[in-house]
Chains A and B, each alone.
Chain A
Amino acid sequence: MEFLHFVRRALVAQFSGPPPRDEFVRHALDAGVGSLPLLTLLTIFAGMNLSVQAYGTFVRFGGQDLLGLFCGVGGIRELYPVMAAVICGARIGATLAASLANMQISEQVEALEVMAVDPMRLLVAPRLWAVTLMLPLLCGYADVVGLAASYWAATEQMGVNGGTFMEQVRDIVHLSDLAAGVFKGVVFGWLVAIVSCYHGYRALKRDGAEGVGVATNRAIVHSAVLCIVLNMFLSALLYVR
């Protein structure tokens, strides 16, 4: 209930004019560029994992030649968008929640209100825009890196034929899949941002440092779980015909 009220206020703030530019740029850079090293490292390993594990599984059925299909479908449709969302939920979300909670407990949010500045407009709206716009880009980036890693692991380590692999990927992955991945990114981005802002904003002054910890923890867990669950529904919606 309280959450819905917050969402309503956040939406009003988000869509009533452009967000403050400096804040937006700062958070977009932090969310986007700041996540790159971590996301790169993780998608490389996740992509290689996907290949290695799928190979281990498929070898039992004698289907190791289908690796390309699996890496295409599993990676681009499912794994990379969710991973980008969960990693960013952990990194960006936690940062958002911690910074807002810290502002709450040190009365900085109240100070804004007293100075007749709407904290929703100044603090929440730019964060929402920044993450919503950056996450789809991160998803696209993760697609490329992850696929490259899968390809490398499949050809170099498993000895799968590279040509066949890419052919299968091209066969199974359509432009619409990429678009769907980006769409997922937008949804996840907004979700991570709103959940994290909510938990950060809800911290109370009397909770002190503990409040910041609690807000961070909740932001990480709730945004990760929500993204994974929502991914199921989105996949059912987008791919089951």
Chain B
Amino acid sequence: MAEQQPAITLERVCKSFGNNRVLHEVSLVLPAGKILVMLGPSGTGKSVLLRCLVGLMKPDSGRIFVEGQDITALDERRSAGREQMFALRRKFGMLFQDGALFDDMCVGDNVAFPLRQHAKMSERQIAERVAEDLERVGLKNVQRKMPAELSGGMRKRVAFARAIALRPRIVLCDEPSSGLDPVMSATLDELILDLHRSLNMTFVVISHDTAEARTIADYIGLLYKGELQEFGPKEQVLRSSRLAINQFFDRSTDGPIQVL
């Protein structure tokens, strides 16, 4: 029964900062084990959506269910709510835009960090897992290096290894291809597909790269001006006659999406 439960359900989620409406009545259902690519021009609330999913931000109204559990009902100011929130977050792994590696730890310690905090594993098991995950993202013998010594692409891959170290059920990626050359971002896309196949995780990927959406997505969403313009399985969305979607995939300046 648990297998049929959707990974993420959003019900009319709204969020604004002052008068600035960032998310407006966003609703969607993402089945478990699928890859969702959320597209949209910069500054349309994609990052906010991601942060609402892990409870880093609280929506003004609407509800968010993660594997059936309502995270908007948790009150982080109460210690019980905080405990539950933390328990829930263990289902997540997150790849931050610039990696967010801890500067004062070496690569190995960075990847081992979530394991040391949460998993009851011996140091040897941890070291094995760290090596395994680093190899999975195509890095070998970098455990002793400091994050500052790595290139942007390597940093992102290390961050990826850290995000999946605890074998989370859902992995969130914030602009995985931003600031990378095309070859490196293609490598990262393959990595996502590979991990998805081998570990059967649900992915939510934030991007403005339509090529990325075509390659990896099972589901595509388009967010513009805080509203979910389009959402559905990839084939259906790509066949859509909606202007906004066509404009985005055709890279055209002519259409409903206007640069202000």
Contact = CB atoms under 8 A, between A and B. Distances in A.
Do A's and B's CB atoms come within 8 Å in the complex? Answer: yes
B100 A106 contact: yes
A111 B50 CA distance: 13
B104 to A, nearest CB: 8
Interface string A216-228: 0000000000000
Contacts of A115: 89, 113-114, 117-118, 166
A117 interface: yes
Contacts of B82: 118
B86 A114 contact: no
Interface of A is mostly: helix
Nearest to B97: A107
B89 A107 contact: no
Given A115-B89, A115-B114, A116-B90, A108 B101 contact: yes
Nearest to A108: B100
Interface string A74-111: 00000000000000000000000001001100111011
Contacts of B86: 116-118
B87 interface: yes
Given A107-B96, A107-B97, A114-B94, 4 more contacts: A110-B56, A113-B54, A115-B118, A116-B86
Nearest to A115: B114
B117 A110 contact: no
B102 A108 contact: yes
Contacts of A113: 54, 56, 89
Interface residues of B, number: 26
B122 to A, nearest CB: 18
Closest 5 CB pairs of A and B: A107-B100, A111-B100, A116-B86, A116-B89, A114-B94
A61 to B, nearest CB: 55
Interface string B102-113: 111000000001
Contacts, number: 51
A113 to B, nearest CB: 6
Contacts of A103: 102-103
A82 to B, nearest CB: 31
Interface string A23-41: 0000000000000000000
B244 to A, nearest CB: 27
Contacts of A110: 51, 56, 96, 100
A107 B103 CA distance: 11
A220 B98 CA distance: 29
B92 interface: yes
Given A107-B98, A111-B96, A111-B100, A116 B87 contact: yes
A114 B98 contact: no
12 contacts: A106-B98, A106-B100, A107-B96, A110-B51, A111-B94, A113-B54, A113-B89, A114-B54, A115-B89, A115-B113, A115-B114, A117-B86
A111 B155 CA distance: 14
A205 B75 CA distance: 24
Contacts of B172: 114
B161 to A, nearest CB: 13
A114 B56 contact: yes
A229 B51 CA distance: 41
Nearest to A26: B104
A118 B79 CA distance: 11
